[in-house]
Amino acid sequence: MKKILVCDPAHFDVSYEINPWMKNQQGLVDKSLARIQWSLLVNALSEVAEIEVMEGVKGLPDMVFTANAGIVIDDIFFVSNFAHTERQLESKYVSKWAETKTELFQNVIQISHIVFEGEGDCLSAAGSYWVGSGFRSSDNVTKFKFGIDNIFFQQLKLVDPRWYHLDTAFCPLSDSTVMWYPPAFCDASKLNIQNSFQNHVILSEEDALAFAANCVVVEQNLFLPNCSDELVSTLTRLDYDVHRFDLSEFLKAGGAAKCLTLYLN
């Protein structure tokens, strides 16, 4: 069964601005509602996946977005090195958590010499690890390759700051199908995606702005923020079970379903 990491939202808030979604949102998070929204998503995920819960840390409001905590490759947990000062301390606590999970990870490695923001900017499908750059993770992540042989990376350049992480505009549903928003990418990246996947679910601007691409995929189950009925119909025709959630409080910080989760296997 798939294992997924989440972080308790006790300390979630918008207390600074490091992406366009946070503008004018400081202090406006309804924390009680955020707790309810998070719990509904996590409870639904627990029906199809094993959930690991990491405790949050006071003063680190974005720690709830565990997709950015790192990435697991071959039982090694690579802990992120964040671009913004406001998030850099998260890595210390993520490392401490991962080091206690010897049943899950063979090793825990803190990335230090490049900027890399975990699964927020790195998703695997179609025989490759797809790495986003342009706003957060470094361009040279694809050269770093985490010191692992026989691993293939492809870089995708993001060009619109509203889609500042790869997982906000690009979601592989399988090795042959991808859900994505083309205007978020440079022309070369668009062509790469078009040529690498057989089937494409192209998001409308409305659904892209609703963060529909920020979707958790567990086999045929898709967990995503509120999106259009048209998109649900499209995904249902592709034999996916679509689960929609109100994640309005987390959208104030520029995050949604996938941002709140990290695949551990």
**CA 223, chain centre distance (Å):** 12
CB neighbours (10 Å) of residue 59?
Answer: 11
SS3 at position 3: strand
Could you read off the pLDDT of 39-78 as tens digits, one per residue?
Answer: 999 999 999 999 999 999 999 999 999 999 999 998 999 9
Domain 3-263: give its CATH architecture: 5-stranded Propeller (3.75)
Q: Which amino acid is at 1?
A: M
- For 186, half-sphere exposure in the C-beta direction (CA atoms, 13 angstrom radius) is 11
For the cut 80, the answer to whether the pLDDT of residue 144 exceeds it is: no
pLDDT-derived band at 3 (thresholds 50, 70, 90) equals: very high
Handedness of CA 222, 170, 178, 5 (dihedral sign): negative
* Catalytic-labelled residue, pool 7, 215, 227, 259: 259
Domain ranges of the chain: 3-263
Cβ(61)–Cβ(113) under 8 Å? no
Token code pair at residue 161: 């700051």
User: Per residue in 162-190, pLDDT tens?
Assistant: 999 999 999 999 999 999 999 999 999 99
Q: Does 171 qualify as catalytic in the annotation?
A: no
113 is catalytic: no
pTM equals 0.96
Q: Is the pLDDT of residue 258 over 90?
A: yes
Catalytic annotation, pick one of 165, 171, 227, 243: 165
Rg of the chain's alpha carbons, rounded to an integer? 17
pLDDT value of position 5:
98
* Residue 130 pLDDT: 97
